Structure 1
Amino acid sequence: MTFRKTLGTIALGVALALPALADENPAIEQRQGQFKLYVHNFGLMGGMVQGRMDYDADMAQTAADNLFHLTRHDQSRLWPEGTDSMSVDGTRASPEIWDNLDDFVMKFTALQDAAANLQDVTGDGLDEMRAGFGPVGQACQACHEDYRDEAS
């Protein structure tokens, strides 16, 4: 094998290994990405609910539909043990999640139910969306209070 081929083989091996080396906990990045999508869609509706932007039934319905589907996404691979704030940097996931997994799942189920209700009422008008919006925020807050650590 020539030096050039050897160097090319080494370079290819390093290039293929870099993503794995740079991201030792892809589940953390992936679940944070999912939460950013929650915030994007919930925040859009929040702007309407709070009067910071005009109510747009189509835009609101799309955001509610997105939120509903995001809460239905299989998250089983996003929460491996050892990806909590005491084990790794870069996450606010409390270790209590894994100690109280049944309660964590129950709180997530409440979010799913609230998102389904919000999806059902959002296109009916601002007042209806407002009524469905509060329970989604309450479901988020209930989980954050118990299972999200403060930012360091």
Structure 2
Amino acid sequence: MKRIFGLSLATCALAAAAFAGSHANPALEGAVKARNAQMSVIAYHTGLLGGMAKGDVPYDAATAVAAAENLASAAAMKRAVLWIEGTEQGAVAGSRAKAEIWSDADGFEEKAVALEAASSAMITAAGTDLDALRAAMADVGGSCGACHKAYRGPKN
């Protein structure tokens, strides 16, 4: 067997195929990067609101409303361009999406809509007072947790 730089042609071919397979579809990779960014935006604003709810960050109605508006906008992003079949964990680098997102599309959609509703309700609650913000955080946190439990895989 012919050797290149100490490696067999078979080894080189397998390495090339693995590299090509992992970079075969930039659109799928882009979708995973975009939804990871979406989750980062959601986490940032949820963290800010949660910090206020816990008393770690001083409550400020204007800041809370701004964070809630951004949270609601991020939660309402169109899933059809972010959650593309074939981007489950193991298929595309950086994905933690379980295959159940597509095999249980109705359940996934239900949980996504719950986050949208909780995030929208947070806008009014955030500007009302600290007690209202705290109450709304339970719905936001619950909707995030329910989706992650059912549809997010473990960290790699």
1:119 to 109, 119, 123: 123
1:26 to 25, 30, 35: 30
2:108 aligned with 1:104, yes or no? Answer: yes
- Map of 1:1-152 to 2, 5 A cutoff? 24=26, 25-152=29-156
Identity of aligned residues (%): 37
Measured in 1, the distance between the counterparts of 2:65 and 2:76 equals 17
Measured in 2, the distance between the counterparts of 1:22 and 1:130 equals 45
The size of the alignment, in residue pairs, is: 132
Which residue identity does 1:52 align to in structure 2?
A: D
1:106-146 C-alpha deviation (Å, 9 max, x unpaired): 01011111111111211111001000111000000000000
Which residue identity does 1:118 align to in structure 2?
A: M
| 8 Å contact kept, 2:122–2:137 | yes
Moved over 2 A (4+): 21-24
CA RMSD across the alignment: 1.5
1:58-113 C-alpha deviation (Å, 9 max, x unpaired): 10110001111222222211111110003223111001111000100001011111
Measured in 1, the distance between the counterparts of 2:57 and 2:83 equals 35
Which residue identity does 2:144 align to in structure 1?
A: C
